[in-house]
Amino acid sequence: MNDLTPIENQGQRVLTTEQLAELYGTTPDRIADNFKKNRDKFIEGSHFFKLEGPALKDFKDKGLNSPLVGKNAKSLILYTKRGAARHSKMLGTDQAWDVFDSLEENYFNQQPKMLVPQSLPEALRLAADLAEQKDQEHSGRLIAEQQVQELKPKADYYDMILASKGLVTTTSIAKNYGVSAKRFNAILHSWGVQYKQSGSWYLYSKYQGHGYTHTVPVPYVHSDGQVDIQPSTKWTQKGHKFIYEFLKARGILPVIERETEEAK
């Protein structure tokens, strides 16, 4: 990942089809096929750029970019962070999910460049700005410390949510509320969040399409030896936070916050 040469188009970090395929552990044809079959889900300028004609020539003319384009290529698709996210969801593999998390943190999120003063007045101005920033940070830190004490139960639980970058099972979340997964699913069902069909839980339409869950088919073997598929749904970090806010608004708190409330 650290060896990935960054490329940009219109001020955004982008990746080619071949780069995505190698990173996600698949083939360029698979990436291209998913793009073609789901073309309506990709918005040009937001999820991808298509370079042709002069734009493609300008891209090729940049020394580091030229090896990324086939000699006889008449067009080139470049995927933005949102486009790379789309492909990771379509592939649905652990590698694609893990690699995208790393791309989001290390590749697409560019660190601001340090400004180096070129003259004495610039250096003095920078020193004054840093001193003012330090004073503001000190005041802000005192306020933040007070807020942390006031909101510590919520912060503790949020820290636990944010610490998990991957997917979380319903069983794990249910334990945080002191109930079984069966009971927790029933609670979400009673509030109209999800419904059960053929032994699996699915979100109602109003909560779909927000990236709250990730469902993958899991093969299993019946007692008679027959192989079957059972959907396995887990909650994303975004979904975990949604559950917390949704239930808290209805007076249902995780154990850590209930204990704090009872101790007051």
Judge whether 124 lies within some domain. no
Q: Which stretches of the chain score pLDDT less than 70?
A: 1-3, 63-67, 110-118, 120, 126, 133-165, 216-223, 225, 227-228, 230, 259-264
For residue range 60-103, what is the model confidence (pLDDT) as tens digits? 777 566 567 777 788 999 999 999 999 999 998 889 888 988 88
Give, to the nearest 10 degrees, the angle between helix 120-150 and helix 152-163.
Answer: 110
pLDDT for the residue numbered 151: 44
Give, to the nearest 10 degrees, the angle between helix 94-103 and helix 81-91.
Answer: 170
pLDDT for the residue numbered 163: 57
Total count of domains within the chain = 2
pLDDT for the residue numbered 238: 87
Measure Cα distances from 94 to 24, 103, 133, 168, 261 in Å. 9, 14, 42, 13, 39
Judge whether 37 lies within some domain. yes
Parent domain of 223: 164-263
Judge whether 48 lies within some domain. yes
* Residue ending a domain, choose from 87, 108, 129: 108
Taking the model in full, what pTM does it have? 0.44
Judge whether 243 lies within some domain. yes
For residue range 243-257, what is the model confidence (pLDDT) as tens digits? 989 998 998 888 877
Judge whether 242 lies within some domain. yes
Residue 226 CA to residue 240 CA, distance in Å, equals 35
Judge whether 2 lies within some domain. no
**Structure tokens, 231:** 């959907």
pLDDT for the residue numbered 65: 61
